[in-house]
Amino acid sequence: MSRVVIVTGGTRGIGAAISTAFAKAGYKVAATYHGNDQAAAEFTAQTGVQHFKFDVSDFAACEQGVANIVAKLGPVDILVNNAGITRDAFLHKMTAAQWHEVIGTNLNSVFNMSRQVIEGMRTREFGRIVNISSINGQTGQVGQANYSAAKAAIIGFTKALALESASKGVLVNAIAPGYIDTDMVRAVPPDVLEKIIAKIPVKHLGHADDIARMALFLASDDNKFATGATFTVNGAQYLT
Ligand code: CAA
């Protein structure tokens, strides 16, 4: 049996590593994206993973997008809520647009997408949801009141949904990556990034595959007991 997986933001960065890991392990993968058509086309050409374009911050778009995926690949067994953006600014300079964009894409998306798949998972008595949080949701971060709020809220969402779903074979977990070598982290001003790396005990950025391997286990049939938890993968930068 080949299980069906949706990875939001699945054509770039951590999401691309997650989509690729699932595809290599024999899953049927749908990678969603919103903005970068060229990156999505290149990703599909390189990996063979199908991409689906819709805005995960928009509930109606998610309804339509997930229906398209189900029509092509079948009912969804696994959802990885990975899509995320940054709009970093000190709060005294942050615009309402910067706040709402981050909350929409990073947090509302988790509701919008999980809501599409949860009923089917409960009915079939199998499901795995993996939510990508962040070290910055656990610790806070300068310039990220919006991002830290969204990523912290994901941890609460994960706990609540895990409790609701535990008796139905649906396991829900979060991963809190540290600083991973992606375009998002490389967009941090170089002098600031240098300061951040100096504080990581392993002394280097993580790799997207470090997160993909964790997601693959949490979503697998082998995971029968881990649920409601947040798994940190951060080179010991923050110990929970
Ligand atoms: N850690 C430590 N110090 C920081 C910092 C950080 N993350 N961000 C900013 N600072 C410091 C700067 O070094 C600077 O210090 P000095 O005055 O001593 O030089 C001070 O705060 C002011 O910073 P700027 O001069 O850069 O001020 P600005 O208004 O031009 O920009 C900012 C502010 C938008 C917050 C910018 O500094 C920035 O982008 N910082 C990085 C924020 C960050 O870490 N984002 C994480 C993105 S990666 C991610 O989110 C993925 C994940 O999940 C881990």
pLDDT at 239: 97
Whether the CB-CB separation of 176 and 232 falls below 8 Å is answered with: yes
| Distances in whole angstroms, Cα of residue 226 to Cα of each of 67, 94, 159, 218, 219 | 29, 38, 12, 7, 10
What is the full per-residue pLDDT of the chain (240 aa) written as tens digits?
699 999 999 999 999 999 999 999 999 999 999 999 999 999 999 999 999 999 999 999 999 999 999 999 999 999 999 999 999 999 999 999 999 999 999 999 999 999 999 999 999 999 999 999 999 999 999 999 999 999 999 999 999 999 999 999 999 999 999 999 999 999 999 999 999 999 999 999 999 999 999 999 999 999 999 999 999 999 999 999
Instruction: Please tell me the pTM assigned to this model.
Output: 0.97
Residues with CB under 6 A from ligand 1: 86, 88-90, 134-136, 141-144, 147, 179, 184-185, 188-189, 192, 195-196
Q: How far apart are CA 17 and CA 116, in angstroms?
A: 24
pLDDT at 158: 99
Residue 8 included in any domain:
yes
Domain-embedded: residue 240: no
| In a domain? residue 63 | yes
Both tokens assigned to 16: 């691309």
Q: What's the start-to-end Cα distance of the chain, in Å?
A: 37
Alpha-carbon distance 9 to 34, whole Å? 8
Write out the two tokens for 122. 């409960």
Can you give the CATH number for the domain in which 201 is found?
3.40.50.720
Q: Has residue 203 been placed in a domain? A: yes
Which of 12, 85, 86, 88 should be mutated for ligand 1, with most atoms under 8 A from CB?
88
Report the catalytic residues.
147
Question: Amino acid letter at 150?
Answer: A
Atom of ligand 1 nearest to the CA of 196: 1
In a domain, 239, yes or no: no
Question: What is the C-alpha to C-alpha distance for residues 125 and 101, in angstroms, rounded to an integer?
Answer: 34
Position 68 in a domain: yes
- The tally of domains found in the chain comes to 1
Q: How far is the CA of 97 from the centre of ligand 1 (A)?
A: 19
Is 202 part of a structural domain of the chain? Answer: yes
Instruction: Give a yes or no: residue 200 inside a domain.
Output: yes
Domain that holds residue 21: 4-230
The pLDDT value given to residue 1: 67
Contacts of 45 (CB under 8 A, 6+ apart): none
